[in-house]
Structure 1
């Protein structure tokens, strides 16, 4: 039985953001699942994001350089409350680490991908969540993908963004937060953390669709989204279609 994993402070931040800075709850890029993540993210991020000025037609639009990926675990890489990666998702990670054109190639950028979860590695006092982190790292050891550990006294997503930026800087991966893309299925944690840390956001709207295990391994039509995730879909559509808002962009990319 999964641990109770409430995050009331994140919910409260989502509500206050909805009232004060609703554009922070709109992702820079929306994709169905992690399997649809483009290898070259930069052009896709600016194509749907807001700008405050018009770029002259004779001047190419700047394109972000993404050197680091923050990946959520539950319902982005794995079915919720598991550390089981469906085969297509593992192959996608392998492609990001081995494709000759990937910015996250293992040989050129060994620390370019980090899993940041609100379960695995998120509670220093939870043996269960530390075990999850170790299981994931064991599975992904050939790809050298680490799980972020929230330190004692620190808070989980969406409040750990500065610590995540510091992790990448310490590894020499990035100099600025706008070189990071946060990929996840939840607006109230993943998209909001990207806004808080000054990074780009990618929303996996449908979560994980594939199953694992003998009975579900061939399934690609599953839906693990809970009540809050489905409410976020309604909220995002309302902000985009009724309020006509565009996603915020990292500082310096407004025009």
Structure 2
């Protein structure tokens, strides 16, 4: 299987579909925003008690399959995010492209760290939503910045991976509804329809 196919194929998400069918509300986010530029950093930290953030990459803070911060989000990234959530303890990029087995030699991973101010990128064989324990171990056992999962927030654009994973972890979540570019994916369109149906 080629690297591009490895990046696209997500067996773990497929295997978790039955959980979503049984309980669709596992896809409901704590907070919904239009794009990464609206990330409520102060609210997450001061009102929700968030001590650590997990950031998706593709169509979250970067264009899909690119490893640079989208220009419109650079001021937020460098001016606020890295100050409120220090990358050495409180930030972790968890992507289903960079840092996975499809990232040969972890070249994307290394480039992404360079471009983001040394924000760590999780190296994982099991894609989201199956890398929950890796994230918990990182923040609770390794960095010791959190004591329980509720102090972690997952930020991403996919209800069936990012938000589902956050709810399975008992963490908070921020769903990026539109992202950097508008997706034409039928799955993402279905996710948005599901959200419209489920939201309170």
SS of 1:73 mapped into structure 2? coil
The match for 1:97 is 82
Q: Does 1:139 align with 2:139?
A: no
Q: Does 1:179 align with 2:124?
A: no
Distance, in Å, in 2 between the alignment partners of 1:42 and 1:145 is: 19
The match for 2:194 is 235
Is residue 54–residue 91 contact of structure 2 (8 Å, CA) maintained in 1?
yes
The match for 1:80 is 64
Listed one character per residue, the Cα deviations across residues 119-162 of structure 1 (whole Å, up to 9, x for unaligned) are: 00021x6416x111111011123xx3111111xxx411001111
The CA deviation at 1:225 is: 4.9
Is residue 2–residue 81 contact of structure 1 (8 Å, CA) maintained in 2?
no
The CA deviation at 1:188 is: 0.7
The match for 2:36 is 34
Listed one character per residue, the Cα deviations across residues 1-37 of structure 1 (whole Å, up to 9, x for unaligned) are: 9702111330341x31232222111111100011101
Listed one character per residue, the Cα deviations across residues 160-186 of structure 1 (whole Å, up to 9, x for unaligned) are: 111101101211211111000000000
* Structure-1-length-normalised TM-score: 0.70
Q: How many residues align?
A: 195
Is residue 80–residue 224 contact of structure 1 (8 Å, CA) maintained in 2?
no
Is residue 33–residue 175 contact of structure 2 (8 Å, CA) maintained in 1?
yes
The CA deviation at 1:40 is: 2.1
Is residue 153–residue 171 contact of structure 2 (8 Å, CA) maintained in 1?
yes
Distance, in Å, in 2 between the alignment partners of 1:164 and 1:82 is: 23
Alpha-carbon RMSD: 2.2
Larger radius of gyration: 1
Shift of the 96–229 alpha-carbon distance from structure 1 to 2, 3 Å rule, reads same
Report which of the two has the higher share of helix: 2
* Structure-2-length-normalised TM-score: 0.89
Distance, in Å, in 1 between the alignment partners of 2:139 and 2:162 is: 17
Q: Which of the residues 15, 19, 29 maps onto 1:17?
A: 19
Is residue 122–residue 149 contact of structure 1 (8 Å, CA) maintained in 2?
yes
Structure 2: segments with no counterpart, 5+ residues: none
Distance, in Å, in 1 between the alignment partners of 2:184 and 2:77 is: 22
